Amino acid sequence: MCLAIIAHLCLDLWQKDFVVACLNSNNEYKVYTEQAPCFITAREENLVYRTNKTLYGMMVSAHDWEKELSKTYNTLSYYQSKADLCVQHWVIDGEYMLQVTYTNDVIGGSMTKKERLKAIGELEGAYHIKQIKEEGKDRHILWMSLTRNEETGAITISERPYFERILKKFGMEDCNPKYTSLPAGIVFTPEDNAITPEQIEFMKDKPFLPGLSSFMWGESSIRPDLA
């Protein structure tokens, strides 16, 4: 939706990346973790760590990082969307700025290059920001590629990078594509499972469920063109 707004208003599209985003926030609650194996010492095997910083993978990490980042945006006069707390924008002297953050990835849109540099500079003043290398007209975020038509301002989204990554992960990068992989209305039964020794041997190193769930997640509906 934010990309649709950026395309509709012909905003200057840009992106940034927060380096180790979650480490920018402190734990709001007391969180303890087991010792890392390489740090365990004799007679202290039962001790645990209390973590001061939020770490990736912890249940409270995204919550605490969002609160920390929202405080920063608030001091910079951004308005936070009530529908999605990750969306921030402001209007100052007729200039419009929109930013949306997904953990550490930031997509922004500004009316002018001056406002874009101002927004990026403010973030760099508060956190460690990584420059995103642009490859021609294509941008990449969340394993999606974004391409903008410079004449019309339309933005095209493609999940091809995600599927290429998943295919390579599961050793299927050389597979042949089919528009309909299975006939409509097919019903599976227990008899369809691998039951012969040869079939069991063939499937023993095939992570079927993770692969299936990865492809199903990638099939979520995304409009190819936002204009």
Q: Which pLDDT belongs to residue 81?
A: 92
Flag whether 173 is in a domain: yes
Flag whether 7 is in a domain: yes
The fraction of the chain above a pLDDT of 70, given in percent, is 90
- How are strands ordered across the β-sheet holding 155-158? 138-141, 144-148, 155-158, 225-226
Both 16 and 106 in a single domain?
Answer: yes
Q: Which pLDDT belongs to residue 194?
A: 61
Flag whether 98 is in a domain: yes
Range of the domain at 182: 161-218
Both 85 and 191 in a single domain?
Answer: no
Q: Which pLDDT belongs to residue 223?
A: 39
Q: Which pLDDT belongs to residue 226?
A: 38
Final residue of a domain: which of 78, 112, 132? Answer: 132
Flag whether 84 is in a domain: yes
Both 127 and 183 in a single domain?
Answer: no
Task: Note if the pTM is more than 0.75.
Answer: no
Residues of the chain below pLDDT 70? 132-138, 181, 194, 218-227
Q: Which pLDDT belongs to residue 225?
A: 41
How far apart (Å, rounded) are the C-alpha atoms in residues 146 and 124? 24
Q: Which pLDDT belongs to residue 73?
A: 92
Q: What torsion, rounded to 10 degrees, do the Cα atoms 87, 8, 3, 223 define? A: 130
Flag whether 172 is in a domain: yes
How far apart (Å, rounded) are the C-alpha atoms in residues 17 and 98? 16
Report the half-sphere exposure of 154 (CA within 13 A, side-chain side): 10
Both 16 and 87 in a single domain?
Answer: yes
DSSP label at residue 135: B
- β strands within the chain, DSSP E: 12-18, 32-34, 48-50, 79-80, 87-92, 95-102, 105-110, 129-130, 138-141, 144-148, 155-158, 225-226
Both 7 and 109 in a single domain?
Answer: yes
- Inter-residue contact 64 to 27 (CB < 8 Å): yes
Residue 47: strand, helix, or coil: coil
For the segment 7-17, what is each residue's pLDDT rounded down to a tens digit? 999 998 888 88
Flag whether 61 is in a domain: yes
Q: Which pLDDT belongs to residue 222?
A: 43
Final residue of a domain: which of 113, 132, 151? Answer: 132
DSSP label at residue 131: P
Both 48 and 123 in a single domain?
Answer: yes
Both 90 and 192 in a single domain?
Answer: no
Both 96 and 190 in a single domain?
Answer: no
The structural domain count of the chain equals 2
